[in-house]
Structure 1
Amino acid sequence: MQSLTGLLLVVCLQYASSATHSWKAYYTGTSGLTEFPEFVALNLIDDQLMGYFDSKTNHFKSQFQWMEDNLGKEYEERQTNILLGHTETFKNNVNILRERFNQTQGVHTVQLMYGCEWDDQTGAKSAFREYGYDGEDFLSVDFKEMRYISPVQQGIPTVQKWNNDRGKIENHRNYFGTVCIEWLQKYLQYGKSSLEKTVSPQVLLLQKSSSSPVVCHATGFNPSGIKISWQKNGQDYDEDVELGELLPNADGTFQKTSTLNVKPEEWKNNKFRCVVEHQGKTKAADEKILTNEESAPIGLIAGVVAALLLLVVIGVAGYMVYQKKKGFKPVSGSDDGSNSSDHAVPQA
């Protein structure tokens, strides 16, 4: 598992307000990971996993009952056929980019992340389509100018090739402007009762040992919007605090942590309190701390284990393998060198 360190950099789920909805796809091709599939695909609706495919099972599996009820088994079969076609393309793209970067061995990944967002109050729409290689930006679509751009020289051949195909650009325009949004709205209608279900978080304080940092763990909540903060002797306290990323649980709920790095004496001599705000309600934890020597609730253990397993899958799948960097600048091309899952994945 140590070889996955570079892949499991971060899982970043974007916060969405109650009016903003999203559909996203995360595809990853890998080489050098014999124990994992060479191709993995994830589809998400409002940051909840709605479908999964990998090149070992060769089958797309829906994650919600409402998908089968409204879309039928034909939906899974169609997704399976589409993604089977993407498998070979991603394997080829990994090999092409390894050659461009003069690499022969090691673990390498090609990621495609794309999707759309829709505000059900204002009607505003947005979209993204981005490629990454080995955890770094490789190229993306500039939707204002409707062209591909790349921040690295190795991406220029692909940029020139794809920008010369005006049919591809028009396909992007139609897909992200209409098709993706229409399917997002269908999914929201079909899964309304499930996606809008509100579940309050369970809040616990966790600690590996008496000298370890104290972790405030909120889990089992939905929707994903949550705020975790600390208080010291009744006053807001944000020093020595490390906020964790939002992670999905296997049951469609979410979990998040906030770690307080204080010495045992400081914890003992002061009154610290973890405050969790979700959907206008507040929960707090300031007393009982569970350590490795104590038994945590079975539900919590199951949720954490399931999330960690999903995190591994997500890490391999590029969900999200690299963080968006500030100051993304494309390299000039003159410097030489239905539904959403059927969107074409071209060869680099």
Structure 2
Amino acid sequence: MRSVVLLLLGVQLAYAGTHSLKYVYTGVSGVTGFPEFTTVGLVDGVQFMYFDSNEKKAVPKTEWIRLNEGADYWDSETQINIDEHQVFKNNIEVVREWFNQSAGVHTYQHMYGCEWDDQTGATNAFRQLGYDGEDFLSLDFKEMRWISPVQQGFKTVQRWNNNRGYIESDRNYLSTECIEWLQKYVEYGKSSLQRKVSPQVSLLQKSSSSSVACHATGFYPSGVTISWMKNGEEHHEDVDLGELLPNEDGTFQKTSTIRVSPEEWKNNKFSCVVQHQGYSGGGKIRPIEEDSLPIMPIVGVLVAVVLLIAIGVIVFVVYKKKQGFKPVSGSDDGSNSSARPQA
């Protein structure tokens, strides 16, 4: 009887000291039963705040932000996002016209934030915008200039790059204010954000002739490596690595799937290797026989995707619009309204 071997290894990942603050705004048109606009705030990949246009109220999603920020903070976040919703409603329609599209389902997304290494002090930042899942505009933080991969964005790029006040405002927020808020949030949630939770790993297969999925879930922080080995050597052929997905409890999950013929399975030994800094068992090897593989594959992943959409963390790619966005003034809370474009 052939077997599939599962290895869990503990490693100290190089980016263990890097923290991030990220906001994702998503506007959706042409969809019923789903919020037209959502905002998600994440620290180190963990959602700490949420807003949607149905409830019209910014709410905490972690205990550490709930305990450290009061009513004024949440009132300010709520008002910012109500205003942002109106901007996004207009922007989706304008960009749709620029792309000469008919009415229907369209997405308009803006993602921005900063990173800070608590060991070296190094910082970085990003601001990206996208439309219908494709890159539309992005800010080159080192050069402090806007770029666009599509012709529809060229006019906005030129206009924004000529607005030095807008550029300097963005630089100040991303390099200073964003980092200060990130450091504050990390301090708020250090007992939670600095924890290490080992992954739970399963091998899932429908039948002896179908692909095998190596599914790691429940781990924290998010840094994980899933790889396959064939007869003790690294194997990359016919391997699909899935996206990192959040779980409802703040942990993460990820799946790697391998497609191998029954004959190849029979004549070779395959291993799934999962590496994560939370695992401290020192190289545990657990063989899983073919007959013990579950009949239903990756149900948890499918559920997680539904949850992902439900909480508004819709990670397509980010977008922004072209013709005359007007930045509004910055805020005094943890998010930034200084680069929220308006058509």
Normalising by structure 2, report the TM-score: 0.83
Letter in 2 for 1:287: I
Mean CA deviation greater in 111-120 or 140-149: 140-149
**Partner Cα distance (1:290, 1:52) in 2:** 38
Partner of 2:189: 191
**Partner Cα distance (1:307, 1:256) in 2:** 10
Contact 1:21 1:118 in 2 (8 A): yes
Match of 1:312 among 309, 322, 339: 309
Q: Is 1:291 matched with 2:299?
A: no
**Identity of counterpart residues, as a percentage?**
58
CA deviation after TM superposition for structure 1 residue 94, in Å: 0.6
CA deviation after TM superposition for structure 1 residue 199, in Å: 0.8
**Partner Cα distance (1:277, 1:176) in 2:** 32
Q: Is 1:276 matched with 2:274?
A: yes
Partner of 2:160: 162
Partner of 2:72: 74
Q: Is 1:140 matched with 2:138?
A: yes
- Output one character per residue of 1:13-39: Cα deviation in whole Å (capped at 9) or x when no partner: xx9811111101111112111232111
Alignment of 1:98-177 (within 5 A): 98-177=96-175
**Partner Cα distance (1:167, 1:140) in 2:** 18
Q: Residues 225 and 40 from structure 1, CA distance in 2 versus in 1: closer, same or farther, beyond 3 angstroms?
A: same
Q: Residues 323 and 162 from structure 1, CA distance in 2 versus in 1: closer, same or farther, beyond 3 angstroms?
A: closer
**Partner Cα distance (1:36, 1:243) in 2:** 29
Partner of 2:336: 342
**Partner Cα distance (2:20, 2:334) in 1:** 12
Q: Which one has more relative contact order, counting CA pairs under 8 Å at least 6 apart?
A: 2
Contact 2:308 2:314 in 1 (8 A): no
CA deviation after TM superposition for structure 1 residue 313, in Å: 4.0
Letter in 2 for 1:21: H
- Output one character per residue of 1:42-97: Cα deviation in whole Å (capped at 9) or x when no partner: 11101111112111121222111011111124332221111111001001011111
**Partner Cα distance (1:254, 1:283) in 2:** 21
- The DSSP-based 3-state class of the residue aligned with 1:341 is coil
Letter in 2 for 1:124: A
CA deviation after TM superposition for structure 1 residue 283, in Å: 4.2
CA deviation after TM superposition for structure 1 residue 176, in Å: 0.8
Letter in 1 for 2:287: D
CA deviation after TM superposition for structure 1 residue 180, in Å: 0.1
- Output one character per residue of 1:243-281: Cα deviation in whole Å (capped at 9) or x when no partner: 222111111111111112112233234332222222164
Letter in 2 for 1:254: F
Letter in 2 for 1:339: D
**Partner Cα distance (1:120, 1:323) in 2:** 27
- The DSSP-based 3-state class of the residue aligned with 1:342 is coil
Letter in 2 for 1:311: L
- Output one character per residue of 1:87-144: Cα deviation in whole Å (capped at 9) or x when no partner: 0100101111111111122221111110001111221111111111112221122333
CA deviation after TM superposition for structure 1 residue 231, in Å: 2.8
**Partner Cα distance (2:264, 2:209) in 1:** 11
Normalising by structure 1, report the TM-score: 0.82
- The DSSP-based 3-state class of the residue aligned with 1:286 is strand
**Partner Cα distance (1:127, 1:155) in 2:** 21
Contact 2:27 2:38 in 1 (8 A): yes
**Partner Cα distance (1:87, 1:124) in 2:** 33
Name structure 2 gaps, 5 residues minimum. 1-12, 323-331
Name structure 1 gaps, 5 residues minimum. 1-14, 325-330, 332-337
- The DSSP-based 3-state class of the residue aligned with 2:119 is coil
**Partner Cα distance (1:237, 1:144) in 2:** 37
Contact 1:218 1:256 in 2 (8 A): yes
Q: Residues 103 and 204 from structure 1, CA distance in 2 versus in 1: closer, same or farther, beyond 3 angstroms?
A: same
Partner of 2:328: none
Aligned residues: 314
Contact 2:110 2:318 in 1 (8 A): no
Q: Is 1:180 matched with 2:178?
A: yes
CA deviation after TM superposition for structure 1 residue 156, in Å: 2.9
CA deviation after TM superposition for structure 1 residue 323, in Å: 8.6
**Partner Cα distance (2:135, 2:184) in 1:** 31
**Partner Cα distance (1:212, 1:202) in 2:** 22
Structure with the higher helix share, 1 or 2: 1
Q: Residues 79 and 232 from structure 1, CA distance in 2 versus in 1: closer, same or farther, beyond 3 angstroms?
A: same
Match of 1:90 among 88, 91, 103: 88
